[in-house]
Amino acid sequence: MPTEQKPLPSGFGRETTAEEVLAGCDLRGKVAIVTGGHGGIGLETTRVLSNAGATVVAGSRDPKRAQMAVAKMKNVEVSQLDLASPSSIDRFANEFLGSNRALDLLINNAGIMATPLMRDDRGYELQFATNHLGHFQLTARLWEALKKSRNARVVALSSVGHMWSGVDFSDPNSNKRPYDKWVAYGQSKSANSLFTVELDKRGKEYGIRAFAVHPGGILTDLSRYMTDEDLRAYGVSRVNGVITIPDASKGPERFKTIEQGAATTIWAAVTPQLKGKGGLYCENCDIAAMAPADSKLYSGVRPWAVAEAAAEALWILSEKLTAISACAIA
Protein backbone atom coordinates (compact mmCIF):
# COMPACT_ATOMS: atom_id res chain seq x y z
CA MET A 1 0.00 0.00 0.00
CA PRO A 2 1.16 3.59 -0.63
CA THR A 3 2.80 5.42 2.27
CA GLU A 4 0.45 7.88 3.93
CA GLN A 5 1.07 11.49 2.96
CA LYS A 6 1.13 13.13 6.39
CA PRO A 7 3.83 14.54 8.71
CA LEU A 8 5.66 12.08 10.96
CA PRO A 9 6.55 14.47 12.75
CA SER A 10 10.32 14.33 12.21
CA GLY A 11 11.50 16.70 14.93
CA PHE A 12 13.11 18.97 12.34
CA GLY A 13 11.62 22.13 10.85
CA ARG A 14 11.91 24.96 8.35
CA GLU A 15 15.00 26.44 10.03
CA THR A 16 16.92 23.16 10.09
CA THR A 17 20.09 23.24 8.00
CA ALA A 18 21.51 20.52 5.81
CA GLU A 19 24.49 20.12 8.14
CA GLU A 20 22.17 19.62 11.10
CA VAL A 21 20.31 16.87 9.25
CA LEU A 22 23.61 15.12 8.50
CA ALA A 23 25.12 15.49 11.97
CA GLY A 24 26.86 12.26 12.88
CA CYS A 25 26.08 10.62 9.53
CA ASP A 26 28.93 8.70 7.88
CA LEU A 27 28.48 8.42 4.11
CA ARG A 28 31.89 6.98 3.29
CA GLY A 29 31.54 4.46 0.47
CA LYS A 30 28.31 6.03 -0.80
CA VAL A 31 28.07 7.52 -4.30
CA ALA A 32 25.73 10.39 -5.17
CA ILE A 33 24.86 12.28 -8.33
CA VAL A 34 23.59 15.85 -7.93
CA THR A 35 22.34 17.55 -11.07
CA GLY A 36 23.15 21.24 -10.92
CA GLY A 37 25.42 20.38 -8.03
CA HIS A 38 27.63 23.42 -8.51
CA GLY A 39 25.31 26.28 -7.65
CA GLY A 40 22.69 27.42 -5.14
CA ILE A 41 21.18 24.68 -3.02
CA GLY A 42 22.74 22.12 -5.36
CA LEU A 43 26.20 23.31 -4.34
CA GLU A 44 25.26 23.13 -0.65
CA THR A 45 23.90 19.62 -1.24
CA THR A 46 27.20 18.63 -2.85
CA ARG A 47 29.21 20.22 -0.04
CA VAL A 48 27.48 18.53 2.88
CA LEU A 49 27.35 15.13 1.18
CA SER A 50 31.06 15.28 0.40
CA ASN A 51 31.86 16.47 3.94
CA ALA A 52 30.04 13.40 5.24
CA GLY A 53 32.30 11.19 3.14
CA ALA A 54 30.22 10.53 0.04
CA THR A 55 31.65 10.64 -3.46
CA VAL A 56 29.59 13.19 -5.37
CA VAL A 57 29.28 13.57 -9.14
CA ALA A 58 28.03 17.06 -10.00
CA GLY A 59 26.31 17.35 -13.36
CA SER A 60 26.67 20.78 -14.94
CA ARG A 61 26.08 22.46 -18.28
CA ASP A 62 29.28 24.44 -17.63
CA PRO A 63 31.96 22.07 -16.28
CA LYS A 64 34.61 24.80 -16.00
CA ARG A 65 32.36 26.92 -13.80
CA ALA A 66 31.44 23.85 -11.78
CA GLN A 67 35.08 22.87 -11.26
CA MET A 68 35.79 26.30 -9.84
CA ALA A 69 32.81 26.05 -7.47
CA VAL A 70 33.82 22.66 -6.04
CA ALA A 71 37.59 23.06 -6.26
CA LYS A 72 38.12 22.97 -2.48
CA MET A 73 35.78 20.04 -1.86
CA LYS A 74 36.91 16.45 -1.40
CA ASN A 75 35.50 13.47 -3.30
CA VAL A 76 33.67 15.63 -5.87
CA GLU A 77 33.73 14.91 -9.60
CA VAL A 78 32.28 17.12 -12.34
CA SER A 79 30.70 15.88 -15.54
CA GLN A 80 29.02 17.81 -18.36
CA LEU A 81 25.23 17.50 -18.33
CA ASP A 82 22.57 19.46 -20.20
CA LEU A 83 19.13 18.20 -19.22
CA ALA A 84 17.55 19.74 -22.31
CA SER A 85 19.82 17.63 -24.55
CA PRO A 86 19.07 13.89 -24.84
CA SER A 87 22.54 13.21 -26.24
CA SER A 88 24.19 15.02 -23.32
CA ILE A 89 22.13 12.97 -20.85
CA ASP A 90 23.16 9.75 -22.56
CA ARG A 91 26.85 10.73 -22.51
CA PHE A 92 26.67 11.60 -18.82
CA ALA A 93 24.91 8.34 -17.93
CA ASN A 94 27.21 6.20 -20.07
CA GLU A 95 30.26 7.79 -18.46
CA PHE A 96 28.94 6.96 -15.00
CA LEU A 97 27.86 3.44 -15.97
CA GLY A 98 31.31 2.91 -17.43
CA SER A 99 32.77 3.34 -13.95
CA ASN A 100 30.82 0.24 -12.85
CA ARG A 101 29.80 1.91 -9.60
CA ALA A 102 26.56 1.50 -7.71
CA LEU A 103 24.54 4.72 -7.39
CA ASP A 104 23.20 5.23 -3.88
CA LEU A 105 21.73 8.72 -4.20
CA LEU A 106 20.36 10.43 -7.29
CA ILE A 107 19.48 14.05 -6.51
CA ASN A 108 17.51 15.53 -9.40
CA ASN A 109 18.19 19.09 -8.32
CA ALA A 110 18.75 21.18 -11.46
CA GLY A 111 15.97 23.21 -12.98
CA ILE A 112 14.77 26.43 -14.56
CA MET A 113 11.88 28.67 -13.56
CA ALA A 114 9.47 31.14 -15.14
CA THR A 115 11.27 31.38 -18.47
CA PRO A 116 9.84 33.09 -21.52
CA LEU A 117 8.52 30.58 -24.04
CA MET A 118 11.50 28.57 -25.24
CA ARG A 119 11.73 25.12 -26.75
CA ASP A 120 14.37 22.43 -26.97
CA ASP A 121 15.53 20.89 -30.24
CA ARG A 122 12.54 18.52 -30.20
CA GLY A 123 10.09 21.40 -29.93
CA TYR A 124 9.22 20.67 -26.30
CA GLU A 125 8.50 23.53 -23.89
CA LEU A 126 11.77 24.10 -22.09
CA GLN A 127 10.62 24.06 -18.45
CA PHE A 128 8.81 20.73 -18.88
CA ALA A 129 11.68 19.35 -20.95
CA THR A 130 14.43 20.39 -18.53
CA ASN A 131 12.79 19.99 -15.15
CA HIS A 132 10.94 16.74 -15.83
CA LEU A 133 11.76 14.97 -19.11
CA GLY A 134 15.51 15.40 -18.72
CA HIS A 135 15.46 13.89 -15.25
CA PHE A 136 13.13 11.12 -16.41
CA GLN A 137 15.63 10.14 -19.10
CA LEU A 138 18.58 10.43 -16.73
CA THR A 139 16.96 8.21 -14.11
CA ALA A 140 16.02 5.62 -16.72
CA ARG A 141 19.58 5.55 -18.08
CA LEU A 142 21.03 5.14 -14.58
CA TRP A 143 18.57 2.45 -13.53
CA GLU A 144 21.03 -0.43 -13.43
CA ALA A 145 23.42 1.58 -11.23
CA LEU A 146 20.57 2.39 -8.86
CA LYS A 147 19.57 -1.28 -8.68
CA LYS A 148 23.17 -2.21 -7.93
CA SER A 149 23.01 -0.15 -4.72
CA ARG A 150 20.14 -2.28 -3.32
CA ASN A 151 19.36 0.68 -1.05
CA ALA A 152 19.13 3.72 -3.33
CA ARG A 153 17.09 6.87 -3.01
CA VAL A 154 16.03 9.23 -5.78
CA VAL A 155 15.14 12.75 -4.69
CA ALA A 156 13.41 15.14 -7.10
CA LEU A 157 13.24 18.84 -6.34
CA SER A 158 9.66 19.86 -6.81
CA SER A 159 8.20 23.11 -5.45
CA VAL A 160 5.11 24.52 -3.81
CA GLY A 161 4.78 26.11 -7.25
CA HIS A 162 3.06 22.86 -8.23
CA MET A 163 -0.06 24.56 -6.82
CA TRP A 164 -0.30 26.62 -10.01
CA SER A 165 -0.92 23.71 -12.35
CA GLY A 166 -1.18 19.99 -12.68
CA VAL A 167 0.07 18.27 -15.83
CA ASP A 168 -1.93 19.10 -18.95
CA PHE A 169 -1.85 15.69 -20.60
CA SER A 170 -3.56 16.96 -23.75
CA ASP A 171 -1.06 19.78 -24.34
CA PRO A 172 1.99 19.49 -22.06
CA ASN A 173 4.19 21.53 -24.40
CA SER A 174 1.86 24.52 -24.82
CA ASN A 175 1.38 23.92 -28.53
CA LYS A 176 -2.27 24.96 -28.41
CA ARG A 177 -2.93 26.82 -25.17
CA PRO A 178 -1.53 30.31 -24.53
CA TYR A 179 1.81 30.12 -22.76
CA ASP A 180 1.95 31.23 -19.15
CA LYS A 181 5.42 30.96 -17.61
CA TRP A 182 4.10 30.28 -14.10
CA VAL A 183 1.56 27.69 -15.23
CA ALA A 184 4.32 25.97 -17.21
CA TYR A 185 6.61 26.02 -14.17
CA GLY A 186 3.82 24.67 -11.97
CA GLN A 187 3.19 21.86 -14.46
CA SER A 188 6.87 20.88 -14.42
CA LYS A 189 6.94 20.83 -10.61
CA SER A 190 3.77 18.71 -10.45
CA ALA A 191 5.49 16.41 -12.91
CA ASN A 192 8.54 16.15 -10.64
CA SER A 193 6.31 15.01 -7.79
CA LEU A 194 4.25 12.59 -9.89
CA PHE A 195 7.45 11.08 -11.27
CA THR A 196 8.56 10.04 -7.80
CA VAL A 197 5.17 8.46 -7.05
CA GLU A 198 5.41 6.13 -10.05
CA LEU A 199 9.17 5.62 -9.75
CA ASP A 200 8.81 4.51 -6.15
CA LYS A 201 6.10 2.02 -7.11
CA ARG A 202 8.34 0.50 -9.78
CA GLY A 203 11.58 0.64 -7.83
CA LYS A 204 10.81 -0.43 -4.27
CA GLU A 205 11.20 -4.14 -4.95
CA TYR A 206 14.81 -3.37 -5.93
CA GLY A 207 15.44 -1.26 -2.83
CA ILE A 208 14.96 2.02 -4.72
CA ARG A 209 12.74 4.60 -3.01
CA ALA A 210 11.81 8.01 -4.39
CA PHE A 211 10.80 11.32 -2.82
CA ALA A 212 9.85 14.78 -4.04
CA VAL A 213 10.86 17.80 -1.98
CA HIS A 214 9.93 21.45 -1.73
CA PRO A 215 13.08 23.25 -0.60
CA GLY A 216 11.34 26.48 0.41
CA GLY A 217 11.73 30.01 -0.85
CA ILE A 218 15.41 30.66 -1.52
CA LEU A 219 17.02 33.40 -3.58
CA THR A 220 19.35 31.67 -6.04
CA ASP A 221 20.18 31.91 -9.73
CA LEU A 222 16.85 30.15 -10.34
CA SER A 223 15.30 33.63 -10.07
CA ARG A 224 17.22 35.01 -13.04
CA TYR A 225 14.22 35.05 -15.40
CA MET A 226 11.92 36.80 -12.94
CA THR A 227 10.90 40.33 -13.86
CA ASP A 228 11.05 43.24 -11.41
CA GLU A 229 7.27 42.97 -11.15
CA ASP A 230 7.54 39.26 -10.30
CA LEU A 231 10.08 40.01 -7.58
CA ARG A 232 8.05 42.81 -6.03
CA ALA A 233 5.16 40.38 -5.53
CA TYR A 234 7.46 38.42 -3.22
CA GLY A 235 8.73 41.44 -1.32
CA VAL A 236 12.03 41.27 -3.20
CA SER A 237 13.87 43.83 -5.31
CA ARG A 238 16.70 43.86 -7.82
CA VAL A 239 19.34 46.51 -7.16
CA ASN A 240 22.17 46.86 -9.70
CA GLY A 241 21.39 43.37 -10.89
CA VAL A 242 21.53 41.86 -7.40
CA ILE A 243 18.35 40.40 -5.86
CA THR A 244 17.83 41.51 -2.27
CA ILE A 245 15.20 41.18 0.44
CA PRO A 246 14.34 44.60 1.93
CA ASP A 247 12.04 42.97 4.46
CA ALA A 248 12.27 39.18 4.76
CA SER A 249 9.01 39.05 6.71
CA LYS A 250 7.03 40.02 3.61
CA GLY A 251 5.90 37.78 0.81
CA PRO A 252 3.95 34.50 0.79
CA GLU A 253 6.48 32.75 3.02
CA ARG A 254 9.61 33.67 4.92
CA PHE A 255 12.66 33.08 2.79
CA LYS A 256 15.17 30.42 3.74
CA THR A 257 18.94 30.52 3.59
CA ILE A 258 20.67 28.24 1.13
CA GLU A 259 21.78 26.07 4.07
CA GLN A 260 18.15 25.68 5.14
CA GLY A 261 17.00 25.22 1.55
CA ALA A 262 19.19 22.15 1.05
CA ALA A 263 18.04 20.54 4.28
CA THR A 264 14.91 18.78 3.01
CA THR A 265 16.83 17.34 0.07
CA ILE A 266 19.43 15.90 2.44
CA TRP A 267 16.78 14.69 4.88
CA ALA A 268 14.87 12.84 2.16
CA ALA A 269 18.11 11.36 0.82
CA VAL A 270 19.57 9.95 4.03
CA THR A 271 17.20 9.96 7.00
CA PRO A 272 16.39 6.58 8.55
CA GLN A 273 12.99 8.10 9.43
CA LEU A 274 11.90 7.36 5.86
CA LYS A 275 13.04 3.74 5.84
CA GLY A 276 10.36 1.58 4.24
CA LYS A 277 8.56 4.64 2.88
CA GLY A 278 8.45 6.30 -0.53
CA GLY A 279 6.47 8.13 -3.18
CA LEU A 280 6.08 11.10 -0.85
CA TYR A 281 6.21 14.88 -1.18
CA CYS A 282 8.29 16.44 1.60
CA GLU A 283 8.87 19.94 2.97
CA ASN A 284 10.62 21.45 5.99
CA CYS A 285 12.45 18.15 6.64
CA ASP A 286 9.25 16.16 7.06
CA ILE A 287 6.51 14.55 5.02
CA ALA A 288 4.16 17.32 3.88
CA ALA A 289 0.49 17.39 4.72
CA MET A 290 -2.15 17.07 2.03
CA ALA A 291 -3.64 20.44 1.08
CA PRO A 292 -7.09 21.01 -0.47
CA ALA A 293 -7.03 21.61 -4.21
CA ASP A 294 -8.23 25.18 -3.72
CA SER A 295 -5.84 26.05 -0.88
CA LYS A 296 -4.02 29.36 -1.24
CA LEU A 297 -1.42 28.45 1.36
CA TYR A 298 2.19 28.10 0.24
CA SER A 299 2.56 24.77 1.97
CA GLY A 300 1.31 21.21 1.65
CA VAL A 301 0.86 19.13 -1.47
CA ARG A 302 -2.14 19.36 -3.79
CA PRO A 303 -3.97 16.16 -4.74
CA TRP A 304 -3.00 16.28 -8.42
CA ALA A 305 0.72 16.13 -7.58
CA VAL A 306 0.50 12.78 -5.77
CA ALA A 307 -2.38 11.07 -7.61
CA GLU A 308 -1.40 7.52 -8.60
CA ALA A 309 -3.43 7.48 -11.83
CA ALA A 310 -1.84 10.74 -12.97
CA ALA A 311 1.61 9.44 -12.03
CA GLU A 312 1.16 6.37 -14.22
CA ALA A 313 -0.22 8.47 -17.08
CA LEU A 314 2.76 10.82 -16.87
CA TRP A 315 5.16 7.90 -16.97
CA ILE A 316 3.57 6.62 -20.18
CA LEU A 317 3.58 10.10 -21.71
CA SER A 318 7.23 10.60 -20.73
CA GLU A 319 8.25 7.35 -22.40
CA LYS A 320 6.52 8.53 -25.56
CA LEU A 321 8.00 12.02 -25.56
CA THR A 322 11.55 10.85 -24.84
CA ALA A 323 11.36 7.78 -27.08
CA ILE A 324 12.68 5.82 -24.11
CA SER A 325 11.18 2.52 -23.18
CA ALA A 326 11.64 2.47 -19.45
CA CYS A 327 9.92 -0.91 -19.23
CA ALA A 328 12.97 -2.23 -17.39
CA ILE A 329 11.92 0.04 -14.54
CA ALA A 330 9.11 -2.24 -13.51
Q: What does the pLDDT read at residue 241?
A: 54
Residue 298 appears among annotated catalytic residues = no
pLDDT tens-digit profile of 9-59?
999 999 999 999 999 999 999 999 999 999 999 999 999 999 999 999 999
The predicted structure's pLDDT at residue 251: 43
Give tens-digit pLDDT for 55-86: 999 999 999 999 999 999 999 999 999 999 99
Q: What's residue 255's pLDDT? A: 83
What pLDDT is recorded for position 232?
55
- The per-residue pLDDT for 229 is 59
The answer to whether the beta carbons of residues 54 and 105 sit under 8 Å apart is: yes
From CA 236, how far away is CA 245, in angstroms rounded?
5
- Give all strands of the β-sheet with 286-287 in edge-to-edge order: 76-80, 55-60, 31-35, 105-108, 152-157, 208-214, 280-283, 286-287
Q: What is the pLDDT of residue 2?
A: 72
CATH architecture of the region 18-218+257-322: 3-Layer(aba) Sandwich (3.40)
List of E strands, the chain: 31-35, 55-60, 76-80, 105-108, 152-157, 208-214, 237-239, 242-244, 280-283, 286-287
pLDDT at 82: 97
Pick out the chain residues at pLDDT < 70.
Answer: 1, 219-254, 325-330
Q: List, by residue range, all CATH 3.40.50.720 domains of the chain.
A: 18-218+257-322
**Res 1: pLDDT:** 66
User: Backbone phi, then psi, for 221, in 5-degree steps?
Assistant: -65, -10
pTM: 0.91
Q: Which of 124, 179, 185, 298 is catalytic?
A: 185
